[in-house]
Structure 1
Amino acid sequence: MMRGMGGLSLAILLALATASCQTEDKSPQPRFTSNRHGPVTTSAQNKSGHFIEFRSRYALTYGHTYVVFGRADENGRMIDPEVAGLAPASPDPGPYVIGHFVPVPATTGATDGDLEEQYRSASWRVMLSDAEYADVVAFIRKQQASSHLWQATVDNCNNWVGNIARHMGYKVPGIWLRPQQFITELREMNTA
Protein backbone atom coordinates (compact mmCIF):
# COMPACT_ATOMS: atom_id res chain seq x y z
CA MET A 1 0.00 0.00 0.00
CA MET A 2 2.82 2.44 0.83
CA ARG A 3 4.40 1.81 -2.55
CA GLY A 4 1.15 2.76 -4.26
CA MET A 5 0.86 5.96 -2.24
CA GLY A 6 4.42 6.97 -3.23
CA GLY A 7 3.56 6.48 -6.88
CA LEU A 8 0.36 8.45 -6.48
CA SER A 9 2.24 11.32 -4.80
CA LEU A 10 4.78 11.36 -7.61
CA ALA A 11 2.01 11.37 -10.22
CA ILE A 12 0.29 14.29 -8.48
CA LEU A 13 3.53 16.30 -8.30
CA LEU A 14 4.27 15.69 -11.97
CA ALA A 15 0.71 16.60 -12.98
CA LEU A 16 0.90 19.87 -11.05
CA ALA A 17 4.28 20.73 -12.56
CA THR A 18 3.08 19.92 -16.06
CA ALA A 19 -0.12 21.95 -15.60
CA SER A 20 1.85 24.97 -14.47
CA CYS A 21 3.86 24.85 -17.68
CA GLN A 22 0.81 24.92 -19.95
CA THR A 23 0.14 28.65 -19.74
CA GLU A 24 1.84 31.07 -22.10
CA ASP A 25 4.01 34.03 -21.19
CA LYS A 26 2.78 37.51 -21.94
CA SER A 27 4.82 40.23 -23.61
CA PRO A 28 7.49 41.76 -21.34
CA GLN A 29 5.95 43.38 -18.29
CA PRO A 30 6.88 46.96 -17.38
CA ARG A 31 9.65 47.51 -14.85
CA PHE A 32 8.49 48.22 -11.31
CA THR A 33 10.52 49.84 -8.53
CA SER A 34 9.66 50.25 -4.87
CA ASN A 35 11.39 50.33 -1.52
CA ARG A 36 10.69 48.15 1.49
CA HIS A 37 7.86 50.47 2.53
CA GLY A 38 6.18 51.55 -0.72
CA PRO A 39 6.75 53.35 -4.02
CA VAL A 40 10.10 55.01 -4.68
CA THR A 41 10.23 58.66 -5.60
CA THR A 42 13.05 59.87 -7.84
CA SER A 43 14.77 61.67 -4.96
CA ALA A 44 14.53 58.58 -2.72
CA GLN A 45 16.00 56.38 -5.43
CA ASN A 46 18.93 58.78 -5.86
CA LYS A 47 19.78 58.63 -2.13
CA SER A 48 19.90 54.83 -1.86
CA GLY A 49 21.82 53.06 -4.57
CA HIS A 50 21.48 49.49 -3.24
CA PHE A 51 18.80 47.27 -4.74
CA ILE A 52 17.60 43.74 -5.26
CA GLU A 53 15.60 43.00 -8.40
CA PHE A 54 13.35 39.96 -8.54
CA ARG A 55 13.39 39.02 -12.19
CA SER A 56 12.21 36.48 -14.74
CA ARG A 57 13.34 35.88 -18.28
CA TYR A 58 12.13 34.02 -21.31
CA ALA A 59 13.86 30.77 -22.29
CA LEU A 60 13.31 27.93 -24.74
CA THR A 61 11.27 26.24 -22.00
CA TYR A 62 9.04 28.00 -19.49
CA GLY A 63 11.64 30.56 -18.40
CA HIS A 64 13.81 31.28 -15.37
CA THR A 65 13.41 33.20 -12.08
CA TYR A 66 16.41 34.82 -10.38
CA VAL A 67 17.59 37.94 -8.57
CA VAL A 68 19.92 40.74 -9.62
CA PHE A 69 21.46 42.85 -6.88
CA GLY A 70 24.00 45.60 -6.43
CA ARG A 71 24.05 49.37 -6.82
CA ALA A 72 22.26 51.65 -9.25
CA ASP A 73 23.34 55.08 -10.42
CA GLU A 74 21.15 58.19 -10.18
CA ASN A 75 19.42 57.17 -13.44
CA GLY A 76 18.62 53.67 -12.17
CA ARG A 77 21.27 51.93 -14.30
CA MET A 78 22.92 48.97 -12.62
CA ILE A 79 26.57 49.28 -11.58
CA ASP A 80 28.41 45.91 -11.53
CA PRO A 81 25.27 43.83 -10.86
CA GLU A 82 25.45 40.32 -9.42
CA VAL A 83 23.05 37.54 -10.40
CA ALA A 84 21.88 34.65 -8.21
CA GLY A 85 19.37 31.92 -8.88
CA LEU A 86 19.00 28.16 -8.94
CA ALA A 87 19.33 26.21 -12.17
CA PRO A 88 20.74 22.91 -13.43
CA ALA A 89 24.56 23.14 -13.46
CA SER A 90 24.86 22.17 -17.12
CA PRO A 91 23.85 24.07 -20.27
CA ASP A 92 23.08 20.64 -21.77
CA PRO A 93 19.32 19.92 -21.86
CA GLY A 94 19.79 16.38 -20.47
CA PRO A 95 20.16 17.32 -16.78
CA TYR A 96 17.29 19.81 -17.14
CA VAL A 97 14.96 17.06 -18.41
CA ILE A 98 16.16 14.55 -15.79
CA GLY A 99 15.66 17.23 -13.10
CA HIS A 100 11.93 17.04 -13.69
CA PHE A 101 12.04 13.56 -12.11
CA VAL A 102 15.05 13.48 -9.76
CA PRO A 103 17.37 16.14 -8.30
CA VAL A 104 20.35 17.13 -10.46
CA PRO A 105 23.48 19.19 -9.63
CA ALA A 106 22.73 22.91 -9.50
CA THR A 107 24.43 26.24 -10.00
CA THR A 108 23.45 29.37 -8.08
CA GLY A 109 25.05 32.07 -10.22
CA ALA A 110 24.27 33.75 -13.50
CA THR A 111 22.94 31.77 -16.44
CA ASP A 112 22.90 32.67 -20.12
CA GLY A 113 20.62 35.64 -20.87
CA ASP A 114 20.01 36.81 -17.29
CA LEU A 115 21.16 40.40 -17.88
CA GLU A 116 20.05 40.72 -21.50
CA GLU A 117 17.07 43.06 -21.68
CA GLN A 118 15.45 41.31 -24.65
CA TYR A 119 14.91 38.20 -22.50
CA ARG A 120 13.53 39.98 -19.38
CA SER A 121 9.87 39.03 -18.99
CA ALA A 122 9.07 40.64 -15.60
CA SER A 123 10.96 42.49 -12.89
CA TRP A 124 10.43 44.15 -9.54
CA ARG A 125 13.28 46.24 -8.14
CA VAL A 126 13.31 46.97 -4.42
CA MET A 127 15.58 49.80 -3.24
CA LEU A 128 17.34 48.99 0.03
CA SER A 129 19.19 50.82 2.78
CA ASP A 130 22.79 49.80 3.46
CA ALA A 131 21.71 47.59 6.40
CA GLU A 132 18.85 45.96 4.44
CA TYR A 133 21.19 45.29 1.53
CA ALA A 134 23.88 43.73 3.75
CA ASP A 135 21.26 41.45 5.34
CA VAL A 136 19.84 40.30 2.00
CA VAL A 137 23.27 39.68 0.45
CA ALA A 138 24.32 37.64 3.51
CA PHE A 139 21.18 35.52 3.11
CA ILE A 140 21.81 35.04 -0.63
CA ARG A 141 25.42 33.95 0.05
CA LYS A 142 24.25 31.49 2.72
CA GLN A 143 21.65 30.07 0.36
CA GLN A 144 24.21 29.79 -2.46
CA ALA A 145 26.55 27.86 -0.17
CA SER A 146 23.86 25.33 0.76
CA SER A 147 22.05 24.85 -2.58
CA HIS A 148 23.56 21.98 -4.52
CA LEU A 149 20.57 20.38 -6.25
CA TRP A 150 17.78 21.50 -8.61
CA GLN A 151 14.53 19.61 -9.07
CA ALA A 152 11.69 21.12 -11.10
CA THR A 153 8.74 20.25 -8.86
CA VAL A 154 10.20 20.93 -5.40
CA ASP A 155 13.52 22.80 -5.42
CA ASN A 156 13.22 25.04 -8.44
CA CYS A 157 14.18 28.63 -9.27
CA ASN A 158 10.86 30.04 -8.01
CA ASN A 159 11.28 28.33 -4.65
CA TRP A 160 14.88 29.57 -4.37
CA VAL A 161 13.96 33.20 -5.11
CA GLY A 162 10.86 32.85 -2.92
CA ASN A 163 13.13 32.00 0.03
CA ILE A 164 14.91 35.34 -0.47
CA ALA A 165 11.59 37.20 -0.64
CA ARG A 166 10.35 35.42 2.52
CA HIS A 167 13.57 36.35 4.32
CA MET A 168 12.80 39.98 3.45
CA GLY A 169 9.32 39.61 4.98
CA TYR A 170 7.35 39.33 1.74
CA LYS A 171 4.44 37.06 0.92
CA VAL A 172 5.31 34.55 -1.81
CA PRO A 173 3.07 32.91 -4.44
CA GLY A 174 3.07 29.18 -5.20
CA ILE A 175 6.27 27.79 -6.70
CA TRP A 176 4.61 26.02 -9.64
CA LEU A 177 3.85 29.18 -11.58
CA ARG A 178 5.70 30.13 -14.73
CA PRO A 179 8.56 32.52 -13.84
CA GLN A 180 6.90 35.59 -15.39
CA GLN A 181 3.70 34.87 -13.48
CA PHE A 182 5.66 34.19 -10.26
CA ILE A 183 7.47 37.56 -10.36
CA THR A 184 4.30 39.46 -11.31
CA GLU A 185 2.29 37.88 -8.48
CA LEU A 186 5.17 38.38 -6.00
CA ARG A 187 5.13 42.11 -6.75
CA GLU A 188 1.34 42.38 -6.71
CA MET A 189 1.06 40.53 -3.38
CA ASN A 190 3.51 42.89 -1.71
CA THR A 191 2.75 46.33 -3.18
CA ALA A 192 -0.46 48.28 -2.75
Structure 2
Amino acid sequence: MPLLRGRLMLMAVLAFAIAGCQSEDQKPQPRFVSSSSSAPAVTAGAVRESGYFIEFRSRYALSYGHTYVVFGRTNSSGGMINPEVAGLAPATPSATPYVIGHFLPVPAETGASDGDLEEEYRSASWRVMLTEAEYNKTVAFIRQLKAKSKFWQASVYNCNAFVADIARSMGYKTPGIWLRPQEFVTKLRQMNAG
Protein backbone atom coordinates (compact mmCIF):
# COMPACT_ATOMS: atom_id res chain seq x y z
CA MET A 1 0.00 0.00 0.00
CA PRO A 2 2.75 2.59 0.78
CA LEU A 3 4.37 1.79 -2.58
CA LEU A 4 1.06 2.46 -4.37
CA ARG A 5 0.63 5.77 -2.52
CA GLY A 6 4.19 6.76 -3.45
CA ARG A 7 3.56 6.02 -7.13
CA LEU A 8 0.29 7.93 -7.08
CA MET A 9 2.02 10.90 -5.46
CA LEU A 10 4.77 10.82 -8.10
CA MET A 11 2.17 10.71 -10.87
CA ALA A 12 0.33 13.68 -9.34
CA VAL A 13 3.54 15.73 -9.11
CA LEU A 14 4.42 14.89 -12.72
CA ALA A 15 0.92 15.85 -13.86
CA PHE A 16 1.23 19.28 -12.22
CA ALA A 17 4.68 19.84 -13.74
CA ILE A 18 3.52 18.81 -17.21
CA ALA A 19 0.29 20.81 -17.00
CA GLY A 20 2.26 24.02 -16.51
CA CYS A 21 4.23 23.39 -19.68
CA GLN A 22 1.34 22.79 -22.08
CA SER A 23 0.67 26.33 -23.25
CA GLU A 24 2.94 28.43 -25.45
CA ASP A 25 4.29 31.89 -24.75
CA GLN A 26 2.90 34.73 -26.81
CA LYS A 27 4.79 37.72 -28.18
CA PRO A 28 5.92 40.18 -25.47
CA GLN A 29 2.97 41.72 -23.67
CA PRO A 30 2.71 45.51 -23.29
CA ARG A 31 4.17 47.02 -20.14
CA PHE A 32 1.56 48.05 -17.59
CA VAL A 33 1.90 50.55 -14.76
CA SER A 34 -0.50 51.02 -11.83
CA SER A 35 -0.59 53.26 -8.82
CA SER A 36 -0.37 51.47 -5.50
CA SER A 37 -3.38 49.51 -4.28
CA SER A 38 -6.14 49.05 -6.85
CA ALA A 39 -5.90 51.90 -9.36
CA PRO A 40 -6.61 50.90 -12.97
CA ALA A 41 -3.64 49.92 -15.12
CA VAL A 42 -2.24 52.19 -17.81
CA THR A 43 0.34 51.39 -20.46
CA ALA A 44 3.94 52.24 -19.75
CA GLY A 45 3.94 54.92 -22.41
CA ALA A 46 2.64 57.30 -19.78
CA VAL A 47 5.35 59.25 -17.97
CA ARG A 48 5.25 58.74 -14.22
CA GLU A 49 6.70 60.97 -11.57
CA SER A 50 9.79 59.57 -9.89
CA GLY A 51 9.10 57.28 -6.97
CA TYR A 52 9.26 53.75 -5.66
CA PHE A 53 8.07 50.71 -7.59
CA ILE A 54 7.86 46.95 -7.71
CA GLU A 55 7.54 45.27 -11.08
CA PHE A 56 6.21 41.75 -11.44
CA ARG A 57 7.97 40.31 -14.48
CA SER A 58 8.33 37.24 -16.61
CA ARG A 59 10.95 36.54 -19.21
CA TYR A 60 11.55 34.03 -21.95
CA ALA A 61 14.06 31.23 -21.36
CA LEU A 62 15.08 27.97 -23.01
CA SER A 63 12.51 26.19 -20.86
CA TYR A 64 9.10 27.66 -20.04
CA GLY A 65 10.45 30.97 -18.72
CA HIS A 66 11.00 32.65 -15.36
CA THR A 67 8.93 34.85 -13.01
CA TYR A 68 10.57 37.40 -10.70
CA VAL A 69 10.26 40.93 -9.32
CA VAL A 70 12.31 44.05 -9.93
CA PHE A 71 12.09 46.86 -7.38
CA GLY A 72 13.65 50.23 -6.62
CA ARG A 73 13.19 53.86 -7.63
CA THR A 74 12.34 55.50 -10.91
CA ASN A 75 13.51 58.75 -12.45
CA SER A 76 11.12 61.36 -13.87
CA SER A 77 10.83 59.50 -17.20
CA GLY A 78 10.03 56.17 -15.53
CA GLY A 79 13.48 54.64 -15.94
CA MET A 80 14.78 52.39 -13.18
CA ILE A 81 17.50 53.70 -10.87
CA ASN A 82 19.70 50.89 -9.44
CA PRO A 83 17.00 48.20 -9.58
CA GLU A 84 17.15 45.05 -7.43
CA VAL A 85 15.91 41.65 -8.57
CA ALA A 86 14.36 38.84 -6.52
CA GLY A 87 13.26 35.50 -7.91
CA LEU A 88 13.55 31.81 -7.10
CA ALA A 89 15.54 29.44 -9.31
CA PRO A 90 17.83 26.43 -8.97
CA ALA A 91 21.18 27.60 -7.58
CA THR A 92 23.24 26.66 -10.63
CA PRO A 93 23.22 27.28 -14.38
CA SER A 94 23.53 23.51 -14.91
CA ALA A 95 20.46 21.78 -16.36
CA THR A 96 20.79 18.75 -14.09
CA PRO A 97 19.43 20.32 -10.85
CA TYR A 98 16.69 21.98 -12.91
CA VAL A 99 15.55 18.59 -14.23
CA ILE A 100 15.85 16.94 -10.82
CA GLY A 101 13.86 19.85 -9.36
CA HIS A 102 10.82 18.66 -11.26
CA PHE A 103 10.80 15.64 -8.94
CA LEU A 104 12.70 16.62 -5.78
CA PRO A 105 13.52 19.95 -4.10
CA VAL A 106 16.91 21.33 -5.15
CA PRO A 107 18.99 24.16 -3.62
CA ALA A 108 17.78 27.57 -4.78
CA GLU A 109 19.05 31.10 -5.18
CA THR A 110 16.88 34.17 -4.86
CA GLY A 111 18.71 36.93 -6.69
CA ALA A 112 19.04 38.02 -10.29
CA SER A 113 19.56 35.50 -13.05
CA ASP A 114 20.83 35.90 -16.59
CA GLY A 115 18.46 37.97 -18.73
CA ASP A 116 16.28 39.38 -15.94
CA LEU A 117 16.95 43.04 -16.82
CA GLU A 118 17.38 42.60 -20.57
CA GLU A 119 14.38 44.02 -22.40
CA GLU A 120 14.53 41.54 -25.29
CA TYR A 121 13.73 38.66 -22.90
CA ARG A 122 10.84 40.37 -21.04
CA SER A 123 7.60 38.55 -21.88
CA ALA A 124 5.19 40.34 -19.49
CA SER A 125 5.39 42.97 -16.76
CA TRP A 126 3.23 44.87 -14.34
CA ARG A 127 4.79 47.79 -12.48
CA VAL A 128 3.11 49.06 -9.33
CA MET A 129 4.10 52.52 -8.11
CA LEU A 130 4.40 52.62 -4.32
CA THR A 131 4.64 55.19 -1.58
CA GLU A 132 7.86 55.14 0.44
CA ALA A 133 6.08 53.37 3.34
CA GLU A 134 4.57 50.72 1.02
CA TYR A 135 7.93 50.22 -0.64
CA ASN A 136 9.78 49.79 2.67
CA LYS A 137 7.21 47.25 3.89
CA THR A 138 7.38 45.30 0.61
CA VAL A 139 11.18 45.28 0.51
CA ALA A 140 11.35 44.08 4.13
CA PHE A 141 9.06 41.18 3.20
CA ILE A 142 11.14 40.36 0.10
CA ARG A 143 14.35 40.26 2.16
CA GLN A 144 12.72 37.91 4.72
CA LEU A 145 11.38 35.69 1.94
CA LYS A 146 14.79 35.54 0.26
CA ALA A 147 16.42 34.53 3.55
CA LYS A 148 14.04 31.62 4.12
CA SER A 149 13.62 30.35 0.52
CA LYS A 150 16.31 27.68 0.25
CA PHE A 151 14.76 25.19 -2.20
CA TRP A 152 13.10 25.18 -5.63
CA GLN A 153 10.72 22.45 -6.78
CA ALA A 154 8.78 22.87 -10.02
CA SER A 155 5.35 21.74 -8.85
CA VAL A 156 5.43 22.72 -5.15
CA TYR A 157 7.51 25.90 -4.72
CA ASN A 158 8.66 27.45 -7.98
CA CYS A 159 9.36 30.99 -9.20
CA ASN A 160 5.61 31.70 -9.53
CA ALA A 161 5.01 30.62 -5.91
CA PHE A 162 7.84 32.89 -4.73
CA VAL A 163 6.39 35.90 -6.57
CA ALA A 164 2.86 34.98 -5.43
CA ASP A 165 4.07 35.19 -1.81
CA ILE A 166 5.29 38.73 -2.49
CA ALA A 167 2.05 39.74 -4.22
CA ARG A 168 -0.10 38.30 -1.39
CA SER A 169 1.98 40.21 1.18
CA MET A 170 0.88 43.35 -0.67
CA GLY A 171 -2.79 42.33 -0.52
CA TYR A 172 -3.13 41.07 -4.11
CA LYS A 173 -5.00 38.00 -5.34
CA THR A 174 -2.76 35.51 -7.15
CA PRO A 175 -3.33 32.92 -9.89
CA GLY A 176 -2.25 29.28 -9.59
CA ILE A 177 1.48 28.61 -9.54
CA TRP A 178 1.41 26.02 -12.36
CA LEU A 179 0.95 28.56 -15.16
CA ARG A 180 3.72 29.52 -17.55
CA PRO A 181 5.47 32.67 -16.22
CA GLN A 182 4.09 34.98 -18.93
CA GLU A 183 0.56 33.79 -18.23
CA PHE A 184 1.11 34.03 -14.45
CA VAL A 185 2.19 37.71 -14.59
CA THR A 186 -0.58 38.61 -17.04
CA LYS A 187 -3.26 36.98 -14.88
CA LEU A 188 -1.82 38.54 -11.72
CA ARG A 189 -2.25 41.99 -13.28
CA GLN A 190 -5.71 41.22 -14.65
CA MET A 191 -6.92 39.91 -11.27
CA ASN A 192 -5.76 43.04 -9.46
CA ALA A 193 -5.66 45.98 -11.85
CA GLY A 194 -8.33 45.15 -14.41
TM over 0.5, yes or no? yes
Determine the structure 1 residue equivalent to 2:128: 126
The question of 1:37 aligning with 2:35 is answered no
Determine the structure 2 residue equivalent to 1:164: 166
> Matched residues in 1 for 2:30 and 2:52: separation?
20
TM-score computed with the length of structure 1 as normaliser:
0.95
**Identity value in percent:** 65
Aligned positions, number: 190
Deviation, 1:4, is 1.3
> Matched residues in 2 for 1:187 and 1:9: separation?
32
3-state SS in 2 of match to 1:172: coil
> Matched residues in 2 for 1:191 and 1:103: separation?
33
Write the mapping of 1:28-107 to structure 2, written as runs, cut at 5 A: 28-35=28-35, 36-39=37-40, 45-46=48-49, 49-107=51-109
For structure 1, the residue ranges without an aligned partner over 5 or more in a row are none
Q: Residues 98-149 of structure 1, C-alpha deviation per residue, up to 9 Å, x if partnerless?
A: 1111111100000000000000000000000000000000000000000111
Q: Identify which of 179, 182, 185 aligns with 1:183.
A: 185
After superposing the two structures, state which structure 1 stretch, 7-16 or 138-147, moved more: 7-16
Q: Is the 8 A contact 2:32 2:41 kept in 1?
A: no
Counterpart code for 2:113? T
Determine the structure 2 residue equivalent to 1:4: 4
Counterpart code for 2:23? T
> Matched residues in 2 for 1:57 and 1:40: separation?
20
Counterpart code for 1:27? K
Moved over 6 A (4+): none
TM-score computed with the length of structure 2 as normaliser:
0.94
For structure 2, the residue ranges without an aligned partner over 5 or more in a row are none
> Matched residues in 1 for 2:96 and 2:162: separation?
21
Counterpart code for 2:18? T
**What is the root-mean-square deviation of aligned Cα atoms in Å?**
1.4
3-state SS in 1 of match to 2:167: helix
Counterpart code for 2:170? M
